[in-house]
A = this chain, B = another copy of it.
Amino acid sequence: MPHPSSLEFFWDPASPYTYLAATRIETLAEEAGIALNWRPFLLGGVFKATGNRAPAEVAAKGRYLFEDLQRWASLYGVPLRFPESFPANSIQALRAALVAEESGQGPAFARAVMAAHWGEGRDINNPAVLAEVAEGAGLSADAVAQQMQSQEIKDRLRANTDEAVARGAFGAPTFFVGDVMFWGNDRVPLLKAYLQES
């Protein structure tokens, strides 16, 4: 098998497990010597297309979710503050992420928006929060706010989402190494083992 050229990371800041995985994936990619490709996609669109649903839609799972997330955050040594705005509408944040991508600030924006939402519990559907995140990632908040409303950006988010579904995704985070898919923060160890073997 030829060594794959990149590790694709489909992320949506609405997903807490994506936040957790994001705190680990850069080091993992670096250690494996593989480029990390951050790909914003809309988890809500994935659920709609596949018939899958968010864990919190099952009441007992939702009750467990909070405890489980705290355990992972504590294991990883990262902050976790459950946002009052959960479940978030992440479409504006994702469009902003695609704008950030154009100037090479995609990863910085992704990190910042997930840290704001899951590390600090902030509402990422609030334009003021998004503006602050954009500035923090080295972008002009005004320029982002304007460009993210373009049809091209909207189409690109939809295309990323459709592509992930077509390739087999049904949740987040989803990782691809070529055609090989891994789903979930809890599969990061399997992904790591795969990259070490290939």
**This chain: copies in complex:** 2
Q: Are A58 and B50 in contact (CB under 8 A)?
A: yes
Interface magnitude class on chain A: 20 to 34
Does A51 interact with chain B (Cβ within 8 Å)? yes
A170 touches B52 (CB 8 A): no
Interface digits, A156-176 against B, CB 8 Å rule (1 contact, 0 not)?
000000000100111100000
How far apart are A65's CB and chain B's nearest CB, in angstroms?
10
Does A60 lie within 8 Å of B190, measured CB to CB? no
List the interface of chain A (C-beta within 8 A of B): 50-52, 58-61, 63-64, 67-68, 71-72, 75, 165, 168-171, 181, 183-184, 186-187, 190, 193-194
Task: Verify A187–B52 contact, CB threshold 8 A.
Answer: no
Given contacts A64-B181, A64-B183, contact A170 B58 (CB under 8 A): yes
